[in-house]
Every structure is written in structure tokens, then in C-alpha cells.
Chain A
Amino acid sequence: MALDAAAPGLPDQVRGIVAAIMGVGPAEVAEDASPETLAAWDSLRHMKLILAVEEAFGLRLTDSEIVSITDLQSLVTLVRRKRGGGA
């Protein structure tokens, strides 16, 4: 079942997915988490993260949306917009 991106806890939901893919605890995923700030965030995990988010929220991302994902914040913003939750 897809997660509800309109729910108030969306950032925490996305953070939970990031933590699971990176193999770290949610507390280690800061609001500004990115490949630059989180050592585990390598290229392979970046791609697995995109696939996990698509599956979790039932999304299909375009090429330009895929390359727009650079960090946690851009991911939360994208998921919210794709699910009609505004910017």
C-alpha cells in the first residue's frame, strides 16, 4: 500500500525511507541530509532511494524529476508536489 504523501508526517516518512536505504537510524538523517553530509549516501544508494520512494508513494518520476533529486529536501518537495500537496 502506498504511503500518504499529503499526511503531515511526509518529511518523516521520507526520512524513514532515506534511513532504511542508507542503513542508518532516522535520527542520523538530518533535515539537510545529502550525499555531502551523509557518508553512506553513495551513488548506488541514491538510485535505490529513488526506486524505494517511487514504490512507497506509488509514483512514476520523469527523467527531469529523477535528476532533480539531490538531497532530502528536494526529495520531500518532489514527493509532495507529485502527490498534489503543493510545494
Chain B
Amino acid sequence: MKNPYAVGERVYLRQPTAEDVEGRWHEWLSDEETTRWLALHHWPNSVEAQREFFEASRRSRDRLVLAAVDRETDRHIGVCNLSAINWVHRFCDVAVVIGEPEYRTGPYVLEAMSLLLRIAFMRLNLRIVKSSFAADNDASKAIHEIFGFKEVGRIEQLFWDRGRYVDNVIAALSRPQWMARNDLSAGAEQHA
């Protein structure tokens, strides 16, 4: 592992590097399937644009971008994001993208999300993690349900998807909800 920030059984998260930028990261965000349900990234991405994002995010304190890396091969397989971090009200948005197709089977995305939630609530002391996704995105719906997110709102027909508009679901998970689900008491240091 190189410079691990959070470590799971199969995946670890670390700060992205210039090598990641020169790799396949920018291609994931041009791929039609990968970007199908993303609110942004419908324009072709480029290594130059990825470089700009990398430089901007490296200096940012309202966005935490982490590379998801396969522990076994040390291969960069995806990107995790805590964005729009509000340090007054202590909330943020969350996103996980597994870019390499062969890692989309099995538990990689679940482990990356698990690590990211722990970072948000236990390391950054955030109170609420928000998210939004297209109502027809079954994978996003399932992962939010698994980790205990509650639907708190819905914007009807916000997203354009292959010939029709679909609803946008707004979901949230609070730290007390996350701690209760993981059998943690306030101030607990143990790992969930």
C-alpha cells in the first residue's frame, strides 16, 4: 500500500497522485455507462481537465477526493468523494465511482462507501452525509438503503436519461443513525 488514508479488507483509500491523473481516471469520466447516472460529466473528459480537477481538489478543504485502490494489486480502481463540506453546519455530499469494470462485481463499492462514511463521521467530525441519485438507478438506491440512508426529498423529473426524465432522490444519513446501526456509542473509538 502507498500512503494509505483508510484501509479495508480489499480496498484502501489514499490521496490521488499525479500518476493516477495520467492513468485511466479521466477515461472513466468519459465512459457512457460509468457516467450514465452522474449529474455532471456528460461532456467528454480529458487528461487536462482531470489534471485541473486534481490540482484544485488537492488545495481544497471543502472537498476530500480519495483514490480507491485494490489492496492486492495496488491498482487504482475508482474515486471517492466527500464534497461540498460545510464546516459550520458540518455536512457534506458523498459519491463513490468504481471506474474499472471488473471491480464492479462483489463488495468493492460497499467497502469503499463504508470507509468513506467512517472518515466523514469519525475523522472529519461531520454530522450529516447527504446524497442524491436518480430514482431509476437501482445500484445507487440499493447502496444507500444498505448503509441506512433515508429518503428526505425528491425532485420530480430532474434527470434526463435515455429519452425520458426521471426523479432525483435526495437521501441523508446522520451520525447518530450511522452509530446506532454500527452499535457504537457516542465517543466510541472502536471500529464499526
A contact residues vs B (CB 8 Å cutoff): 35, 41-44, 46-48, 50-51, 60-64, 66-70
Whole-angstrom CA separation of A46 from B138 in the bound complex: 12
Known A60-B181, A64-B192; judge A69-B107 contact (CB<8 A). yes
**Is the Cβ of A48 less than 8 Å from the Cβ of B110?**
no
A41 / chain B contacts, CB cutoff of 8 Å: 105-106
Which residue of A42, A51, A61, A69 contacts B105 across the interface (Cβ within 8 Å)?
Answer: A42
Chain B min CB distance to A46 (Å): 6
Considering only CB atoms, which chain A residue lies closest to B112 in the complex? Answer: A67
Whole-angstrom CA separation of A67 from B10 in the bound complex: 9
Whole-angstrom CA separation of A58 from B107 in the bound complex: 22
Considering only CB atoms, which chain A residue lies closest to B113 in the complex? Answer: A63
> How many residues on B have C-beta within 8 angstroms of the other chain's C-beta atoms?
26
Tell me if A's interface is mostly helix, strand, loop or mixed. helix
**Is the Cβ of A44 less than 8 Å from the Cβ of B142?**
yes
Chain A min CB distance to B28 (Å): 15
Considering only CB atoms, which chain B residue lies closest to A68 in the complex? Answer: B9
Known A50-B146, A63-B114, A63-B182; judge A70-B107 contact (CB<8 A). yes
The answer to the question of B23 belonging to the interface, with a C-beta cut-off of 8 Å to chain A, is no
**Is the Cβ of B145 less than 8 Å from the Cβ of A46?**
no
Ordered by A's residue number, 29 sampled pairs between the chains whose C-beta atoms are within 8 Å are A35-B105, A35-B106, A42-B104, A43-B98, A43-B104, A43-B105, A43-B106, A43-B139, A44-B138, A47-B110, A47-B142, A47-B146, A51-B142, A62-B181, A62-B182, A62-B183, A62-B192, A63-B118, A63-B147, A63-B181, A64-B114, A64-B182, A64-B192, A66-B107, A66-B110, A66-B146, A67-B9, A67-B110, A67-B114
